[in-house]
Structure 1
């Protein structure tokens, strides 16, 4: 509920504080007094699109603050939490507009985007009037309005639609994959056979390359290593060291110990020579290979590398590629079965959706008849007893909201063709249709502030009285703000304010004053009689106020 509205330096308002109440709040005043300024300012703080030149002449910045009281279950709480904004029982919206056109919005004293502001506004305020193209006059919203009237819960239908759509996507993807795979089947089978025949392993390319290099090097160095082996062996260094050791040992007894160190060194040299011989012999054994082995190694290495180039992958990626080809071939073999299974699941999901959509269609059809009857009851007191309101339900492409298109149509005169409400009804008729619709659609609803901007335009007398009674009826369960020129409507308000215009120091200002007691009687009398308020007008005003 809108509790307060503070406006500073906006259009013709320099400073204004308003405190609204629950029930029916009425704004009256002469044409041009500035009632629209209040709505423009409220729309500005709610983030609605409107006129750009809002800052009062001579001021650097305009500002509007709106304070709302939120019940615990109000949908605005969820929007605040999702946006990471402070969530309290009171919601304070503040928006500024600088002279150069820059706009800044705050929610509970925290900066926020225009999108968050507009999302909040949709849960806080409904504006209805002759130019209402956001709500009741928008055919795109008629289905939602009928669903609200019928108390429909579309959760199961939307879940069924999502499941159907998901399975359809999976089936389409499976069919495309199978079609693509089948087009490449011959290539896949040939490539898979080629990889299976070669059967490369991860790391095999490196191993074969090292082995090949070693064998190629062996051909070049084996001769020198063999020569070294002969030089170190029994016919070479080993024999000479052995002879030297025997000769020195024979002479050592007579050398009085002078050859001991030499003999020890020769012993160590013989040991080292043995180690060298074993290393050389091991190397010769490693280099001893069959030339066919080198040829086979090179043939496999080149085959692996050629296959890697063919498929534009690294040699170590060939085993994974073989697995991928095998999987794709299995998909071809099993794809048809998978598609049959998906088609069966999709058919079941489609039937579930169709059953739910048919049930929703039947409930909408029943609710459409009930809404049409309710409208007939409401239209008669509004002097539209000859008009016919019909909820038209036609086929629509299946969607998460069902298989129906809903359009509110009217025929204003007997025998006249019916058409969309926003194209058939005249200005005054349209206002009354909107009011009747709102009465029917808001029964039992609460928690939102509704604004009716001159919805009583073009009507008077008993019809205006009926309009006022219905506005008062709506206001029993919700807060309603009405901008009106009708004394009959104004008299039904629980609270009334007068908007007036004055000139101070050569500047024009709009002011708003609460109408209480005799002041309210005089204001309604002015609405009845004009500028000159007579005793008869005051008596009529008292009669209207009851």
Structure 2
């Protein structure tokens, strides 16, 4: 339930703080006073898009804060927890900031939230019925959605839609396979050959790198052997080999240390160098023994490299990507394999169609029950809304093949007079009749609403007299179950309210500002009298207003 609303620098509102109560509250005031600004502010707080024109002229930003009591809404509390947007126990605080540049930020319970999150939360908090809602009743899609929401069939509708799309997807695959069987067979044959060819290659990037290194070494084996032999000769085999001369020098230094101990350090360094050079000789000899210059092995490696390069050119990729090509071919073969068996695919299609029909028929049964109930409710309401003898019907028109929404189209039909068959609402209802039927529809569907707050924005336009009084009674009755707010220009409706707020506007220092005042008993009499009598309010008008409020009480 809406508990509190704070509006700052929004349109023509400077600062406004409102505490809400349960029951039916009427918002009244002269035309142009800004009665719908309250609705617009709430919509903004619940995630609707805004623009810079909503910021009061000369101000930096508009700020809307709405506090809701959600202690009796476990579904919303669970959603808030899942979104990590919990607040104080039983409280949901919605806040929206909109700056003069058009940028906005939203918060739920003090945490930053996206507009989508704010709209999702808003769906749990309140429903707003606009004054032009009756226009949507003429649209077939809107009629179907309204019936399904009235019956609480949203999950069933979503399931039917999923089953329909699955069936259609299989149907398209089956048709494509039937019409392109030769092309599919040719593609499968080519892919099978490519898969066999690439799989036989057994390509591995690491092995490929080793192969290239081995081949490079073998291709230069003669030069490498010559280099190793030259190194061994230079270090130890030649007459002037390094190691021989080094040994001779070490012998002389060793003798010299007998006479000068300072020669011991150069001798030690030479001994270390001699050991290192000897290790080099051993390593080069080992390299000579290990180096394989077998022409047959070299030819095999060369052939392998050439084959890999040929396949890489064939598939127009770098050799390192041949493994990826094999994976792609395997995936496409698997896709074709799933469609390869036309008979198996046809069976999958039949199974999917059966699932769709089963779900759609269950949806149809639920729709028929809801359609009968809604038809009776609207027909009964019509009798009290100056349409005596008229009737309303929710017709379910069968579809030959069905569609994503089920096996039938939904059409609202009406007969304005007794003894006349019902016909499409879009074809026979006048503007006034449509407005009254829309109101009856909104009241009926609101009775199954899961949200605690219902707002009606001048939905009583185009009616008056006794019908207006009945509308007021309907809203008062609804207020016993929900929190109901109604923007109205009808005194008969306002008089039925449990509480009444007056919206007014005035010019202060050249600036137009809107205000809302909670009316006491005497103030309500004056406001109802104004709504009854216009500019000149007489004592007779006031007595009439007091009488209306007395009846309402």
| TM-score of Structure 1 vs Structure 2, range by shorter chain | 0.7 to 0.9
- Note the C-alpha offset of 1:116: 2.9
For residues 334 and 118 of structure 2, the distance between their equivalents in structure 1, rounded to whole angstroms, comes to 55
Q: 1:435 to 1:303 in 2, by over 3 A?
A: closer
2:19: which partner in 1? 19
Superimposed CA distance per residue, residues 346-394 of structure 1 (whole angstroms, 9 cap, x where no aligned partner): 3223202202202212331342233222211111111022544332333
Superimposed CA distance per residue, residues 295-349 of structure 1 (whole angstroms, 9 cap, x where no aligned partner): 67755664554345434467687799789879988987x6666553343233223
SS in 1 for 2:472: helix
Q: 1:203 to 1:365 in 2, by over 3 A?
A: same
For residues 323 and 97 of structure 1, the distance between their equivalents in structure 2, rounded to whole angstroms, comes to 52
1:145: which partner in 2? 146
Match of 2:479 among 471, 475, 490: 475
For residues 98 and 284 of structure 1, the distance between their equivalents in structure 2, rounded to whole angstroms, comes to 83
- 1:392 matches 2:399: no
TM-score normalised by L of structure 1 = 0.73
Q: Which of 489-498 and 516-525 deviates more?
A: 516-525
TM-score normalised by L of structure 2 = 0.72
SS in 2 for 1:53: helix
1:449: which partner in 2? 453
- Note the C-alpha offset of 1:437: 0.8
Match of 1:310 among 304, 309, 314: 314
For the 8 Å contact 2:129–2:442, the answer to whether it is kept is no
Match of 1:346 among 337, 344, 349: 349
| Structure of greater Rg | 1
Match of 1:524 among 528, 532, 536: 528
- Counterpart mapping for 1:428-443 below 5 A: 428-443=432-447
- Note the C-alpha offset of 1:541: 3.2
For the 8 Å contact 1:160–1:353, the answer to whether it is kept is yes
For residues 315 and 542 of structure 1, the distance between their equivalents in structure 2, rounded to whole angstroms, comes to 91
For the 8 Å contact 1:361–1:404, the answer to whether it is kept is yes
For residues 55 and 316 of structure 1, the distance between their equivalents in structure 2, rounded to whole angstroms, comes to 61
Q: 1:479 to 1:153 in 2, by over 3 A?
A: same
2:108: which partner in 1? 107
1:365: which partner in 2? 368
SS in 2 for 1:433: helix
* Root-mean-square deviation over aligned CA pairs: 4.9
Q: 1:362 to 1:191 in 2, by over 3 A?
A: closer
- Counterpart mapping for 1:319-358 below 5 A: 338-358=341-361
Q: How many residues align?
A: 501
For residues 39 and 407 of structure 1, the distance between their equivalents in structure 2, rounded to whole angstroms, comes to 30
For the 8 Å contact 1:212–1:298, the answer to whether it is kept is no
For the 8 Å contact 2:446–2:454, the answer to whether it is kept is no
Q: Which of 88-97 and 470-479 deviates more?
A: 88-97
SS in 2 for 1:71: coil
2:32: which partner in 1? 32
- Note the C-alpha offset of 1:467: 0.9
- Note the C-alpha offset of 1:71: 3.3
For the 8 Å contact 2:506–2:512, the answer to whether it is kept is yes
Q: 1:431 to 1:449 in 2, by over 3 A?
A: farther
For the 8 Å contact 1:9–1:63, the answer to whether it is kept is yes
Any stretches of 5+ residues in structure 1 without a counterpart? 229-275
For the 8 Å contact 1:446–1:477, the answer to whether it is kept is no
Any stretches of 5+ residues in structure 2 without a counterpart? 233-280
SS in 2 for 1:15: strand
SS in 1 for 2:467: helix
Superimposed CA distance per residue, residues 274-303 of structure 1 (whole angstroms, 9 cap, x where no aligned partner): xx9xx99997999897x7787677556645
